[in-house]
Structure 1
Amino acid sequence: MSKRILIVLSEYGYWGEELVGPLETFEKAGYQVTFATPTGKRAQALPPSMDPHYIDPPLGRSVTSPETAVKVRALDSSSRLDSPLDLSAWLPERPYRSDSNFLRTFEAYNSRLERVAEEVADQYDALLIVGGSGPIVDLANNQRVHDLILAFHRLDLPIAAECYGVAALAFARDQDARTSIIRGKRVTGHCIEYDYKDGTGFLGTDFVIGPPPYPLEYILRDATGPDGAYIGNFGKETSVIVDYPFITGRSTPDSYLTGQKVVEVLEQGLRRWGFAA
């Protein structure tokens, strides 16, 4: 029976190769894929990720090959992303404690999460959160995305994330313990040397800012705690870390490798890779 992967995408722009790389790898392995977005709107690739002439400011070079640009444009103009799973319809909204009927509402919320966990267990084998600037807006601090991650985590299923999508792992926390699920784990993600100084933009808005509103490296260093580690691998061409159940990729050049490691986790039982034990 083929494996089934749930891929979560931002509605404010994903980086093309960070979807195409894992997607091609999963399809080559014979996996089935379901796309999801926060409110069921169609996800779209960020324009720079389809432009081989766009120069990434921190790296001073293009990070999109002509071949990749063609693949991203083909996927972005296809109908494959037209009807994603709507996370806002699937997962419940966590009630405010000031709700006049909080106890009953909270009970209903927890009951629905139990059913979501059953559905995840029945329908999926792994989760992937795709990166780009969009996740900063609607994935990183999205309570429903956090609850989805927690459902996979409690089922001990693989959870992969790329680039700024890794922030959602840092913020996914049990509401009682309030510590990140990546505490004590090794992860990678966008290191501060690769952050933009200016020009961070989001699809569907006129909002263009300087650097990202948070330095992902610092968040991951804090979230992993004293017994874990952020591993940026600055100066190395690729950075993918496997510390089960997490598979994290630093940025665009790590897209295919991230997908490959997810396959190795599912097919070969890989549990650690990319760091010294």
Structure 2
Amino acid sequence: MNKKILAVLSNHGYWGVELTGPALPLQRAGYEITYVTPTGDRPIALPPSYDPDYWDPPLGTNVTTPADAAEVKEFMGRAELDNPIDLSAWYPERPYFSAPDFLRALEAYNTRLRELEAELHQYDAILLVGGSGPIVDMVNNQRVHDLVLGFYRLGRPIAAICYGVAVLPMARDFNERRSIIAGKHVTGHCIEYDYHDGTGFIGTDFNMGPPPYCLEFMLSDAVGPQGQYHGNFGKPTSVIVDYPFLTARSLQCAHEFGEQFVNVLDGDLRRYGW
């Protein structure tokens, strides 16, 4: 039986090691990775993520090691990234309430989602790769939400790192409107790691300044009183497993994230980091 992972990447820039950190150990463990992007265009790594001289303002240090930069550059050239699945062609758009014949259109949309869920059985898990790009085209992308909800309903692992984690509090059933991470333990970009300025994206020269939202607050609110957000500020890494969710705070966690991803899949790991 083939071992397969579905990896979602932004078309506005992913952080290099947040892909290679999990992808390389997964591939060494025998997993084939299928890539999907919002538009079907080839994903592009953010230039600072393969620049060993890049100085991260909130962390006050160079964050890309020469070894990671070399791995990211090698991975960028791989043909496996050339033709990702086009999510906009694969998954339907939910109709507006104001659409003609809204009820029939909504029924058709939900019927199609059930059909697509059958296609997800071939994948063992989903990976949401981080970087600034997801802010633009993954976090509030209804198609990405529906993809994640498909894995959630199947009980398959949902792994996310950095701003890939921001998809999770937004991925909610259209009828229930309840966070799928309610009552869960998660980690993600903490306030201390947020930029004051310089949040940028591939394909535009727009500088957003700080991120448009505080991911720590989003996660803290979404997990609710029965769950817990773990920022672990002051600790070198923060990786949390509360099955089916595997979350990682930022790029420094990428290798540990990859190691524990394999342990979730092959070692039946269900709790880690809390």
TM-score bracket relative to the smaller structure: over 0.9
Q: Tell me which residue corresponds to 2:203.
A: 204
How do 1:13-32 residues align onto structure 2 when only pairs under 5 Å count? 13-32=13-32
Counterpart in 2 of 1:108?
108
TM-score by length of 1: 0.97
Distance 1:78 1:31 in 2: 16
How many Å apart are 1:2 and its aligned residue?
Answer: 3.9
Residue 129 of structure 1 corresponds to which residue in structure 2? 128
Deviations 1:219-276 (A, max 9, x none): 000011110011010000010000000000000011121122121111121111100x
User: Which residue does 2:214 correspond to in 1?
Assistant: 215
State the distance in 2 between where 1:196 and 1:242 align. Answer: 26
* Distance (whole Å) between structure 2 residues aligned to residue 64 and residue 188 of structure 1: 21
Quote the residue 1:47 is aligned against.
47
Q: CA separation in 2, counterparts of 1:82 and 1:2?
A: 21
CA distance in 2, matches of 1:65, 1:264: 25
Counterpart Cα distance in 2 of 1:209 and 1:149: 27
Q: Partners in 2 of 1:230 and 1:160 — Cα distance?
A: 16
Q: Give CA deviations for 1:79-107 in whole Å, capped at 9, x if unaligned.
A: 22110011111111000111111122111
Identity value in percent: 62
- Aligned to 2:165, the other structure's residue is in SS state helix
Quick one: distance in 2 between partners of 1:198 and 1:149?
30
Structural mapping, 1:100-179, within 5 Å: 100-121=100-121, 123-179=122-178
Q: Which runs of 5+ in 1 are unaligned?
A: none
Unpaired segments of 5 or more residues in structure 2? none
Aligned structure 1 segments of 4 or more residues deviating by more than 2 angstroms: 77-80
Query: 1:78: Cα distance to partner?
Result: 3.1
Q: How many residues align?
A: 274
Q: Does 1:4 align with 2:7?
A: no
CA RMSD of superposed structures (Å): 0.8
Structure 1 counterpart of 2:140, one-letter code: N
CA distance in 1, matches of 2:182, 2:3: 28
Alignment partners' CA distance in 2, 1:2 and 1:162: 25
In 1, the alpha carbon distance for the partners of 2:107 and 2:176 equals 19
Does residue 188 of structure 1 match 2:183? no
Q: Quote the offset at 1:197 in angstroms.
A: 0.7
1:181 offset after TM fit, Å? 0.3
Residue 225 of structure 2 aligns with which residue? 226
Letter in 2 for 1:133: S
- Work out the CA distance in 2 between the residues paired with 1:232 and 1:10: 24
Question: Hey, what's the Cα distance between the residues in 1 that align with 2:86 and 2:20?
Answer: 21
Q: Are 1:92 and 2:92 an aligned pair?
A: yes
SS at match of 1:44: coil
Distance 1:2 1:200 in 2: 39
How far apart are the structure 1 equivalents of 2:224 and 2:218? 10
Q: Which moved more, 1:258-267 or 1:162-171?
A: 258-267
Q: Deviations over 1:175-211 (max 9, x none)?
A: 1221110010000000010011110000001111211
Deviations 1:48-84 (A, max 9, x none): 0010000111111111111111111122233221100
Deviation per residue, 1:105-164 (Å, 9 max, x gap):
11110111001110001x201000000000000000000000000000000000000001
Partner of 2:247, secondary structure, is strand
Q: Aligned with 1:5: secondary structure?
A: strand
Letter in 2 for 1:16: G
Cα distance between partner residues in 1 of 2:184 and 2:100: 39
| SS at structure 2 position matched to 1:209 | coil
Amino acid at match of 1:254: C
TM-score w.r.t. length of structure 2: 0.98
What CA distance in whole angstroms lies between the structure 1 residues aligned with 2:272 and 2:266? 15
Which residue number corresponds to residue 75 of structure 2?
75
Between the aligned partners of 2:89 and 2:83, the Cα distance in structure 1 is 13
Greater Cα shift, 139-148 or 258-267: 258-267
